[in-house]
Amino acid sequence: MNSLDSDKLRLTDFMDLPTLQEIQDSFAAVANVKATITDADGNLLTQPTPTREFLRRQNALALDEEKLTAQGGPAPAEGFLKEGAEYVAPIIVNNQRLGTIRMTANGALAGIDDAKLAALAVKAGIDIKQLKSLSQSLLRAKQSRPAAIQFLFLLANAIARLCFQEFQLRQRINELTAVYNVTMMLSEARDLNRVLQKTAEVVCDVMECKASSIRLVDVEKDELVIAAVHNLSPEYLNKGRITLSTAEIDRIALSARGFEYVKNMTTDPRVQYPQESAREGNVSMLSAGMRYKGKPIGVLRVYTDSERHFSPFHTDLLKAVAAQAAAAIENARLLAETLEAEALEKQVQLAAEVQQRMIPHTPPNLPGIDFAAVYVPCYTLGGDFYDFIPLPDENIGIVVADVSGKGVPASLIMASVRAALRAHVDNVYYLYEVLRRVNQMLYRDSRPEEFVTLFYGVLDAKNRRLTYCNAGHPPGLLLRDGGLIELASENMVLGVDPNENYKQSIIDLRSGDTLLLYTDGLTDAANFQNHRYGKQRLIEAFKVADKAETIAQAILWDLRKFVGLTQPTDDVTMIVTRME
């Protein structure tokens, strides 16, 4: 039996006919009466005469009794008496009459068979002491009507109790099966709205309620918003907002208690819309809080059309479903966030590929000049960049820049500055004018906390002259004959003051000169002791008399030895230029 309709219960739903026949025959043998069991409509369920199997066992017992009597034991009980007055007792389960047990008393009881009495007690689930006491009363009272009726009702109640226990057991199985089914639905939820709607319907059916609803917490709006309903009219749903801060019933349900009960929604002062509840026909309500790891998710409510007290089992049932629904909702949100994060990550990867295309893969090839570059972004998208810009007459522009901030915003600003710089270089000869225009563009299009440090130089390969303009960037380091020259500047960073006037400088280069341009991610890198790599270590690593690529890799290797496995916090970028 998969389900129980409490309005259509039958006695045979709980006991099969052979079991009922056994109980009847045992009762008849013990009480020395004729008995029958009928259904609610009066139809016979058992035979008025004992079954052959029962008579066979009775004969066997009678033979044993004869042997016992021959050896000085008690005499056997008398046979059945003639038909007399009939007594009836109803068998009632869950306030519904399922059948009747009928007894016809025909004469006085000659004696009580303990073996038969014990068998009846076992079959009917009656306490043997109580049965013996009552049978002795019958024996003493003989044709006493009160004793006979009491005995009959004892048996009827015993059958009803067994049926009711079976009824409750099957109800619990059905309810737990419903919880399991809801759990499986929620755990496999892809369309969460559809599953929540199904959950509301199943809960309403299992708990035999008029209607149900699921409301979710909207913290920003301080509101419990409808997510699913069953058997509630649009007029009732449109009655008005349920404000969480003032919804005392639901706040209790969302507390550690986990639920709250309303006996009558039309009279309880905590109900926000009593008149609407009366028009809808909602009387009693049980609200269970939906919480996930202490976080309020929503409430699951069931409504009845008459006053009803919910048992502890039904309260626990609703709380269990509410907990599963809360977990499903939170898991669905996490899944949505995961999918969104994966989509964003894919977009970031695509952006990183575009950004990598902006960074020169190989340095330029100019006679008499050796170039090398290193670019190590801290995140997928970086805020540093370097560039080599081909210019007429064997000139080449050299750029190293560092954008404030990290990640996507910094990468977008980097792309904007690079594009602006290249656009102005094609049309403007003077370096300071190029930086002035880039500065004004950045100031106009960025926030106050967003700025850029930038070193822009033009190397004249034919005349071996470097013209440069430094906008707040770490000064370039020029290694010459074992000594160090800093290409310092007093210019301000880009993007702060739109009226800044930038100045450019010139330096003539010699054979053997080595120029290092870098970003502060190199000198600011720290180890586990929080000691910075620093400028002095950089200078020591820089003083490697070799090719540009060897120098760049020596500096990078020395940096990695210093920081070890410490997580980097900034991009590292450098350009090494060596005059041959």
Predicted pLDDT at 367: 87
Residue 201 has pLDDT above 60, yes or no: yes
Q: Is 359-579 a CATH 3.60.40.10 domain?
A: yes
At residue 342 the predicted structure's pLDDT band, cuts being 50, 70 and 90, is confident
Per residue in 135-163, pLDDT (tens digit) is 655 555 444 445 555 666 767 777 777 77
Which pLDDT score is estimated for 285? 95
Phi-psi region of 388 (alpha: psi -120 to 50; beta: other; left: phi over 0): beta
Q: How far apart are CA 269 and CA 274, in angstroms?
A: 8
189-335 and 359-579 share one fold? no
User: Does 301 have pLDDT greater than 60?
Assistant: yes
- Report the CATH number of the 189-335 domain: 3.30.450.40
pLDDT tens digits for range 426-463: 888 899 999 999 999 999 988 888 899 999 999 999 99
Mean pLDDT for 543-547 is 82
According to the model, what pLDDT value does residue 133 have?
62
Indicate if the pLDDT at residue 223 is higher than 50. Answer: yes
Structural domain spans, the chain: 11-170, 189-335, 359-579
| One-character DSSP codes across 199-230 | HHHHHHHHTT-SEEEEEEEETTTTEEEEEEEE
pLDDT surpassing 90 at residue 184: no
Mean pLDDT across the chain: 81
**CA–CA distances in Å: residue 213 to residues 192, 232, 237, 287:** 15, 8, 10, 9
The two structure tokens encoding residue 108: 């006085």
pLDDT reported for residue 38: 86
pLDDT of residue 456: 95
pLDDT at position 129 is 66
Q: Among residues of the chain, what percentage have pLDDT more than 90?
A: 39
Q: How far apart are CA 474 and CA 491, in angstroms?
A: 11
pLDDT for the residue numbered 56: 57
Q: Please tell me the distance from the alpha carbon of residue 155 to that of residue 177, in angstroms, as a whole number.
A: 33
Q: What is the pLDDT of residues 466-517, one digit of tens each?
A: 999 999 999 999 999 889 999 988 899 999 999 999 999 999 999 999 999 9
pTM for the whole thing? 0.53
Going by C-beta distance under 8 Å and a sequence separation of 6 or more, which residues neighbour residue 561?
Answer: none
Close Cβ partners of 437 (under 8 Å, ≥ 6 residues apart): 420, 424, 428
Q: Give residue-wise pLDDT tens across range 236-277.
A: 999 989 998 889 999 999 999 999 999 999 999 999 999 999
- Hey, what are 354's tokens? 């575009």
Predicted confidence (pLDDT) at residue 58 exceeds the cutoff of 70: no
Helix H or strand E encompassing 252: helix 248-253
pLDDT of residue 372: 94
Please give the pLDDT value at position 72.
42
Specify the pLDDT at position 131.
60
Is pLDDT at 57 greater than 50 in this prediction? no
Question: In this predicted structure, what is the pLDDT of residue 159?
Answer: 74
Most confident residue range from 73-77, 104-108, 368-372: 368-372
Q: What are 97-126's pLDDT values in tens digits?
A: 888 888 775 544 445 556 666 766 666 666
> What's residue 447's pLDDT?
84
